[in-house]
């Protein structure tokens, strides 16, 4: 793991997005390109690297490309509302694909990263395979309900105490050093996915989700709603499933097929 972390540090770089925003990306390994998009308030290191998932994918022959979402990690954290147009994350993802000149590649995301990946495909991206992790049907079509919870957690940050339903979100934001003003603006830029548009996601799509994870609704329902959805259950809740070795194993099994 120390070797992988060292590799990550050496291979972090930046690119200009569609609007010139300065975004960071971490690239590890050589081989088939695989873009992995982290979740809200998280990072490439937390979702993909820390628990060994990237190491397994590199060993399986992938070049893992991990963008830092706008308002996260080493990417720009603007406090200007104009820097967060509706659909900004999807546009950033398309800019990343263009920057690396990707044509034959795979794509995956966790939670908000899964939602961003799904919308990216709906808007025209064409990965060979797609993994939507920690995501259910309601997390795509009812995103506004989900985002309102996090906006409330940001607005009440200083008053949230243990026992409050938003306490875990507050704790995670604090641990990750989140710029709350930038994150709040970003949340307002994420739009819902229409159920009718799911028919556009035609490639093989893995729904990898913890057996106790209902944070974004039912992953089984989403698998059934997709033309080629494949549900894969792993242990854990929304937060703990990412730390389980079964997550990395499921990614390797799906993408290496």
At 9 the pLDDT is 46
CATH of residue 54:
3.40.50.1820
Domain extent at residue 136: 2-255
Q: What integer pLDDT is reported at residue 142 of this predicted model?
A: 87
Residue 12: the pLDDT is: 80
Q: What does the pLDDT read at residue 131?
A: 98
How much is the pLDDT for 170? 97
pLDDT, position 6? 43
Query: Which two structure tokens, joined as six digits, stand for 83?
Result: 């820097």
pTM across the whole model = 0.95
What gap in Å lies between CA 58 and CA 52, rounded to an integer?
A: 10
CB-side exposure of 206: number of CA atoms within 13 Å? 28
**How many domains, in total, are found in the chain?**
1
The one-digit pLDDT tens for each residue of the chain (257 residues) are 445 554 544 468 999 999 999 999 999 999 999 999 999 999 999 999 999 999 999 999 999 999 999 999 999 999 999 999 999 999 999 999 999 999 999 999 999 999 999 999 999 999 999 999 999 999 998 888 889 999 999 999 999 999 999 999 999 999 999 999 999 999 999 988 999 999 999 999 999 999 999 999 999 999 999 999 999 999 999 999 999 999 999 999 999 99
Cα 165 to its chain centre, rounded Å, is 23
């Amino acid at each position: 793991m120390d070797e992988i972390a060292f590799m990550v540090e050496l291979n972090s770089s930046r690119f200009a997005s569609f609007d010139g925003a300065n975004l960071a990306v971490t690239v590890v390994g050589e081989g088939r390109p695989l873009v992995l998009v982290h979740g809200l308030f998280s990072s490439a290191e937390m979702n993909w690297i820390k628990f060994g998932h990237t190491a397994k994918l590199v060993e399986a022959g992938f070049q893992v490309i991990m963008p830092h979402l706008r308002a996260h990690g080493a990417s720009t954290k603007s406090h200007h509302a104009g820097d967060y147009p509706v659909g900004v994350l999807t546009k950033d993802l398309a800019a990343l694909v263009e920057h690396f000149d990707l044509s034959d590649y795979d794509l995956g995301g966790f939670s908000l990263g899964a939602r961003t990946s799904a919308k990216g495909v709906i808007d025209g991206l064409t990965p060979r395979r797609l993994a939507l992790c920690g995501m259910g049907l309601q997390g795509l079509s009812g995103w506004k309900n989900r985002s309102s919870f996090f906006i409330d957690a940001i607005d009440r940050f200083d008053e949230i105490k243990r026992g409050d339903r938003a306490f875990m979100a507050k704790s995670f934001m604090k641990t990750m050093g989140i710029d709350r003003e930038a994150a709040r603006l970003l949340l307002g830029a994420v739009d819902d996915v229409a159920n009718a548009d799911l028919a556009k996601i035609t490639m093989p799509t893995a729904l990898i989700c913890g057996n106790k994870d209902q944070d974004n609704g039912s992953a089984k329902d989403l698998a059934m709603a997709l033309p080629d959805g494949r549900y894969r259950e792993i242990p854990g809740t929304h937060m703990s499933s990412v730390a389980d070795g079964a997550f990395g194993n499921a990614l390797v099994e799906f993408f290496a097929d």
